Every structure is written in C-alpha cells, then in structure tokens.
Amino acid sequence: MTAMCDVAFLLLTFFMLATKFKPEEPVVVQTPSSISEIPLPDADIMLLTVDTKGRIFFSIDNKLKRKELITSVNTDRNLGLTEAEMNSFAIGSSVGVPLNQLKSLLNTPPESRAEIEKQAPGIPVDTSVLSPNNELAQWVKSARYTNPKLRICIKADGEAAYPHVKKIIRTLEGYKIFKFNLITNLKAVPPGTAAFEQKKLAKAE
C-alpha cells in the first residue's frame, strides 16, 4: 500500500509538472496524417485553423504581440476599438469573424464568446492579397509586421474542400511566403518505401 501510494504521488507530481494545458480551440479539427516528424514549435506561431466548412480562424501566441497586432490592425482599418476592447483581444484566443464584427465580439463577455465563435463566419479570404475583401491578408500582414519570426502553420480539417485551403496558400504567396507548415497527425512510414529505407539508414548510423 505504501509503495503504491508513493508511486501514485510520484506520477501525480510528474503530470503536474509536465502538463501543458491544451490551448483553447475555436473549432474541433481532425487533421490528416503524414509521416512527418517535425514537432510544432512552442513559440512564434501563427495558426490558421480551417474547419470542415472552410471557416478560417486566426491566432498568434504571445499576449504582448497580440496587443501590438490589434493596435496595428485597428489603425490600418479604422476599426475604432477602445483600449479595453484591444485588451480583451490580447487575452482572447482566436478570431474567426470579419473585421466589421470584431468590435461587437470584443464587447461580449468572455463566457459567451465561445458561443459566438461557434457561429462565427470565419475570416473572409480571397485568392488575391490586393482584394479589399481579403481580410486574412490584413491579419497576416500586421502579424508579420509585429513579429517577423512568425512561423505560419495551417491546421485544416481533412474534410475541408481544397479551394478554401487554396485561397490561404494564394494569400501567403501574395506576400512571398513560400514556406509554411501544415499541421498533421503522425502516421507510421509504410515499409518498403524510399522513406522507410532512409529512416532505417539514419537509425543504423
């Protein structure tokens, strides 16, 4: 009994120290699998979430950068946000509403915001960065301006139609971003393939 209790509390301490809470997700996304083993970096990520219906949610980490971001978007697009609203953005998670609905979203209390996020139409996007309707372009531009080290990660649902993803890729290409990450689940390398042989060789070395 004593031994078991000791082990139990050891485990408890381990999990308490090792745990990192799952970040709040606006929508549930089932990412497709790939054999890629590159882990997602901890900091400096811009996350573009695409759900099954193709709605786009945008988020960056780091509270301070979020504050800078919203300040920059506010002045660029004349949103007329108050200081309190901007602070509310900084501590929030992700955005999935067009810019004209942003003010009302930020005015709602955080408890009911999750409900609104579920109904959110997503950030409008277009195939060209020059299009005024391409609000994602605005977000990407301002975010990269506040934090040039940002790594862009697309987390899209496997069932999302390709044209939605294409629009995002086109927007990024418009800013000459040709290198980005797609978030996937891990799957085993099928045996007998070129990648499998490479992996075996790397292990043998």
Looking at beta carbons only, is 20 or 111 nearer to other proteins?
A: 20
Residue 41 CB, nearest approach to other proteins (Å): 8
* 16 is a site residue for other proteins (CB under 8 A): yes
Beta carbons of 155 and 181 less than 8 angstroms apart: no
Beta carbons of 110 and 133 less than 8 angstroms apart: no
* 202 is a site residue for other proteins (CB under 8 A): no
Provide the 3-class DSSP secondary structure of residue 154.
strand
64, 84, 114, 195: residue in contact with other proteins (rule CB under 8 A): 195
* 24 is a site residue for other proteins (CB under 8 A): no
Residue 38 CB, nearest approach to other proteins (Å): 5
Looking at beta carbons only, is 74 or 171 nearer to other proteins?
A: 171
Residue 100 CB, nearest approach to other proteins (Å): 28
With CB under 8 A as the contact rule, which of the stretches 67-75, 94-102, 133-141, 174-182 interacts with other proteins?
174-182
Distance CA 152, CA 44 (A): 9
Tokens found for residue 117: 């996020």
Query: What angle do the packed helices 135-146 and 162-174 form, to 10 degrees?
Result: 50
* Backbone torsion region of residue 122, taken as left when φ is above 0, otherwise alpha when ψ lies between -120 and 50, otherwise beta: left
22, 78, 132, 201: residue in contact with other proteins (rule CB under 8 A): 22
Tokens 């790397």 locate to: 202
- Find the binding residues for other proteins in span 26-65 (CB under 8 A): 31-40, 50
* Other beta carbons within 10 Å of 169: 15
Distance CA 8, CA 131 (A): 58
Residues that bind other proteins (CB under 8 A): 1-2, 5, 8-9, 11-12, 15-16, 18-22, 31-40, 50, 153, 155-166, 169, 172-173, 178-186, 189-190, 193-196, 198
